[in-house]
Amino acid sequence: MRQDDSVLVTTEDGVVETILPLADAGEGVEQLPGLLTPGFVNCHCHLELSHLRGAIPEGIGLVNFILAVLKQRGAAPNTIQSAIKAAEDAMLDEGIVAVGDICNTTDSLPQKASGRIYYHNFIEGMGFTPEGAQGRFEAICRLFSAFAEAYPLPIETNSLTPHAPYSVSPELFRLIAGFPGNHLLSMHNQESEAENEFCLQGTGDFLRLYSALGIDIGHFKGTGQRSPGACLAHFYRNQSLILVHNLYTSEEDLRAIRGYPGLYYCLCPHANQYISGRLPDPELFMRHDAIIVLGTDSLASNHRLSILDEIRILERNYPRLPLATLLQWATSNGAQALQMDGLLGSFERGKQPGIVLISHMEGARLGREAVSRRVL
C-alpha cells in the first residue's frame, strides 16, 4: 500500500493512465477520505444459490449442509432471479468486479448477460459411480454449450470443473480434465476432515451422504491418500486449479503437492465458520509460499457476499497479517487466479480494475466499522 501523497490518474471510464506525486498532478484532483484499492475479486461463489439466504441453519456440518442444499435449492424462477439480482447488486456496490462462479444450472445467465461484473463460469460436474461418468459428462457439456452460446464474453470465460474429490469418479475427472480448452479449473478441497477419511479409507460421514441419496458406492474402498493427493494426478500440468476452502489441509498435504504447478488456494472463512464453526489457517499456506485468494461461497452458507467481510474476519483472527497482504489476496492474486490480470487486479497503466474506496478504518487496519464502495 502506498503511504505517500500520490494521485491516481484514470480516464473517465476508469482506465489507469499513471500514478503521480500530488505536487505534479496539477488542478482538479479529487481527494477521498480513506484507502483506494483496485476492485475486489471473488474467486469462489455460487450465485445461483442466492435464494437460500438464511434457509439453512449454521453449524450443522458439511454433509448435513449438502443434503439441505439439495433438498431446498428448488424455487420459483422469479424468486431465484430476484435473489440473484440482489446478490449481484450487493457485490457491485461493495466493490467486487470479478467472480469465479460455480454453475450447476443456467439460472444465473439472465443476470450475467447485463455485463456488470466479469465472471468466469465454472460449469460443475459431479458423479461418483464409474458407469455414470459418460452421462454426467455429456450433461455438463450441454450446460457448457448453453453458457458459451448465451454469455456475451469469449468462450474462455467458461470451463468445466469437478465438484470435489468425494463426489467425482476417476473416470469423470479424466473426462473433465481432457475437455478441449479447459485451462482453468476449480475444486472444493478438504472442506471437512471426513473428506480426507473418505479418500484415504472409503469410510466416514460421506457414506451417510451417499446412503441418503440412494447411491451405491460399494465399489470404493479408498485410495490410501488424503484428498489432494487422491485426485491431482487426474489433471494436466498445464492446467491451473483453484483449490477452494482448504479447511483441513495440513503441512503434510502442502509438502506433498508443493511441486504441482498452477495451484491457487481460495479461502472462504465466513462460509467455513457458518457450516463448521472453524476458520482456515492462512499462515499455514503462507509458510509454504502458496498463492492465496479469497471467496465468499454462497448465500446459503454466508450472510453476505462481501470480500471486505472476508478480509475483516481474517484480520481479526490473525492480527499479524498486514492489511496490504490481505488486499493483495483480494485483488491482484484473485485476478491472476481467474486469468484476468491483464485487465484487473492492480493500478497499472492500461488496466481497468475498478476503483474501490475503503473508509472508516482504524488506522492501518480495517477494524469493525470499515466500509467499501466502488467509486469508478
Choosing among 3.20.20.70, 3.40.50.1370, 3.20.20.140, 2.60.120.890, the CATH entry for 39-346 is 3.20.20.140
Non-local CB neighbours of 370 within 8 Å, separated by 6+ positions:
308, 312, 358, 359, 360, 361, 362
Query: What percent of the chain is predicted at pLDDT more than 90?
Result: 92
Helices (H), the chain: 62-72, 77-94, 109-112, 133-150, 170-177, 193-201, 206-213, 227-231, 251-256, 269-276, 282-287, 307-317, 323-330, 332-337
Q: Is residue 138's pLDDT more than 60?
A: yes
Query: Which grid coordinates belong to 177?
Result: 480434465
pLDDT at 4: 63
Residue 155 — very low, low, confident or very high, per pLDDT cuts 50/70/90?
very low
| pLDDT tens readout for residues 232-259 | 999 999 999 999 999 999 999 999 998 8
The number of beta carbons lying within 10 Å of the beta carbon of residue 217 is: 18
Non-local CB neighbours of 325 within 8 Å, separated by 6+ positions:
none
pLDDT at 27: 82
Query: Which grid coordinates belong to 327?
Result: 488486499
Q: How far apart are CA 299 and CA 274, in angstroms?
A: 10
Contact 143, 136 (CB under 8 A): no
pLDDT at 25: 85
Type of residue found at 167: S
Among 56, 26, 2, 103, CA closest to 299: 56
Predicted TM-score of the model (pTM)? 0.97
Backbone phi and psi for residue 43, each to the nearest 5 degrees, phi listed first? -85, -5
Mean pLDDT of 173-192: 97
Q: How far apart are CA 79 and CA 128, in angstroms?
A: 31
